[in-house]
Structure 1
Amino acid sequence: MKIRKPELSFWQIFNMNVGFLGIQYSFGLQQTAINPLFLFLGASEELLPILNIAGPVTGLVVQPIIGAMSDKTWSPKWGRRKPYFLIGALIGSICLFIFPSSPVLWFAVGLLWILDVGNNMAMEPYRAFVGDKLPEKQLSLGYQ
């Protein structure tokens, strides 16, 4: 039996995707601010690519795990995906606040990995959230 999903208005879809803005903002801050911070803390320019590998590696590991976990999670109050949005957002926010006061390079590198975990923890359930809420004919609008 296929469950019919109600069509949502443009503004409902827009509101549903505001969280993507926060995630993308965090990714943007990470990409623009991390290398200057690493250089300030003493990293050589030759070391920057290996220090920045955290993002792709973390995404490859975390997103499938969190995606599978969020598929099987259910809370009467929070639903299936929202706990992951909240936890990922809290982890990311804490890391972004701590970054400017990183005392040494390896502390900042560790924060980068934790930040990526938080970003990816929120990102994958958001993608699934769109598919959960929208009928097939609105999916392309929801993923924009």
Structure 2
Amino acid sequence: MMQKPTLRFWQILHMNVGFFGIQYSFGLQQSAVNPIYDFLGASPDEIPLLNLAGPVTGLVVQPIIGALSDKTWHPRWGRRKPYFLIGALLCSLALIAFPFSSSLWMAAGLLWILDAGNNMAMEPYRAFVADKLNDEQRPLGFQMQSFFTGFGQTLANLSLFIFPLIIVGKTGSLPTW
């Protein structure tokens, strides 16, 4: 088997920055979806059913994308990067459209698209770090994954309070604490 090259600290850091974006998207999905459903008129007993869209999508998408990314090869992009790109585009489009949802079912459909995009990017990304790093560097690579995962989730939750303060008047009202 071919020996993997030893990467510098900054190369490993750059390799993992994308986890911030993925987890930021997951964090927004988890914390901002219920207020949107509520705003669109969902009754309290409908919200748990509507929230099942994400986990069910993940159960279906993760194994399929994992298997496909293991068998895909592109001469320029390799086997994982096409999935990062497609997943990131799906997430971006869904996150941009989500606040403009005009109906409850549009919001639920966007949640499915968002979760599919998140999972399409996330699972190959996890494998990408193991693909690129040698045995001695994997612990550092996975620690950086964990750091960016936590940072993305934290900032996503904080941004629900920060954005209304920055864009006063455009979001309706300031949050009440």
TM-score normalised by structure 1 residue count: 0.96
Where in structure 1 are there 5+ consecutive unaligned residues? none
Residue of structure 2 in register with 1:68 after alignment? 67
Q: In the alignment, does 2:111 pair up with 1:112?
A: yes
1:40 partnered with 2:39: yes
Cα distance in 1 for residues equivalent to 2:137 and 2:47:
41
Unaligned runs of 5+ in 2: 144-177
Cα root mean square deviation, aligned: 0.9
Number of aligned positions between the proteins: 143
SS at match of 2:7: coil
Instruction: Tell me by how many angstroms 1:46 deviates.
Output: 2.0
**The residue matched to 1:143 in structure 2 has which SS?**
helix
**TM-score (norm: length of structure 2):** 0.78
Partner of 1:25: 24
Match of 2:97 in 1: 98
| Cα distance in 2, alignment partners of residues 45 and 14 from structure 1 | 42
CA distance in structure 2 between the partners assigned to 1:141 and 1:117 by the alignment: 28
Counterpart amino acid of residue 4 in structure 1 = Q
**Letter of the 1:25 counterpart:** Y
Give every structure 1 segment of 4 or more consecutive aligned residues whose post-TM-superposition deviation is greater than 3 Å: none
Q: How far is the alpha carbon of 1:138 from its aligned partner?
A: 1.5
One-letter code aligned to 2:34: N
User: What do residues 78-117 of structure 1 show as CA deviations (whole Å, max 9, x unaligned)?
Assistant: 1111100000000000000001110100010010001100
Distance of 1:130 and 1:119 partners within structure 2: 17
Letter in 2 for 1:37: I
Q: Which has the larger radius of gyration?
A: 2
